[in-house]
Amino acid sequence: MIIKFSAANFRSIYEKVTLDMLATKLTGKEATISNLFHPSGYKSLPILKSAVIYGANASGKSNILKAMDFFREFIVNSTNLKFGEPLPYEPFRLFNHATVEPSSFEMDFIARDNVRYVYGFKITAEEVVEEYLYSFTSRKKSELFVRKKGEKIHFGSLFKGEQKVLEDQLLNNNLLLSKAANSNYEQMQKVYTYFTRGFHVVLGSLNDSFSMKKSFEDTSFKKYIADFLKVADTGIEAFEVMKQDIGDLKFPNDMPQAFREKLAKRSAYK
């Protein structure tokens, strides 16, 4: 389960941003006890079951999720890159210097073995410039490995498995975590499995046609949306949804029928 996730220099995100799922010490009406749980063995960690990111249109909300998705996908697939192949590097592009700086990602999480880890990496278009993994044992943060460009990889005393063989076989565009897991290092497989089976990012959103149809057919849903818009202080007091005759829509003669039907369905309400 996620405790914290951070990213920097990725798409529209330049300075480090963090999604923190640790609950704050709220009291009274602000308390969200029903939205909390304490992981087994971590009673001092009140973690939120859900969270919402608020922000204006085009403020970068979706890019936080895309950063999480990239983080997962690169962990799972980094060993597919052959020697010399470029990395899927997407830096912030409004500053010239940002396009040559590393993108960085870090997650604090509890894996499927019920151990808390902090794992992160920094990449450029050419290589992994930094990578690290820590675990928490008896509330103490312990180093499993730290990898930095131009330096020998430092393995902590808790790292299990042949170290030199792993270091010799590691390509500079592959993650050590991924390489070790796919080379049958059982300890690293427990961490890696969290990203292949226990952590999922679903991108996308409900389109407006769904909301319009639902509001047209369900008055309680419509009232719920209207009440929310009032509470959010949007200035909107009410709204109406009308069904229109899709037969009046004009389509180009060469438009495929399947596409016409899709557009017609989307345009059935306004």
Pick from 151, 203, 155: which is nearest to 180 by CA? 155
pLDDT at 16: 96
What confidence tens digit (pLDDT) does each residue in 122-179 have? 999 999 999 999 999 767 889 999 999 999 999 999 999 999 999 999 999 999 999 9
Select the highest-mean-pLDDT range: 43-57, 90-104, 201-215: 90-104
pTM above 0.85, yes or no: no
What confidence tens digit (pLDDT) does each residue in 61-115 have? 899 999 999 999 999 999 999 999 999 999 999 999 999 999 999 999 999 888 9
What confidence tens digit (pLDDT) does each residue in 14-28 have? 999 999 998 887 665
pLDDT at 204: 64
Q: Which amino acid is at 194?
A: Y
Q: How far apart are CA 155 and CA 185, in angstroms?
A: 14
Question: Nearest 5°: CA angle at 191, between 6 and 135?
Answer: 70
C-alpha count within 13 angstroms, C-beta hemisphere, residue 183: 18
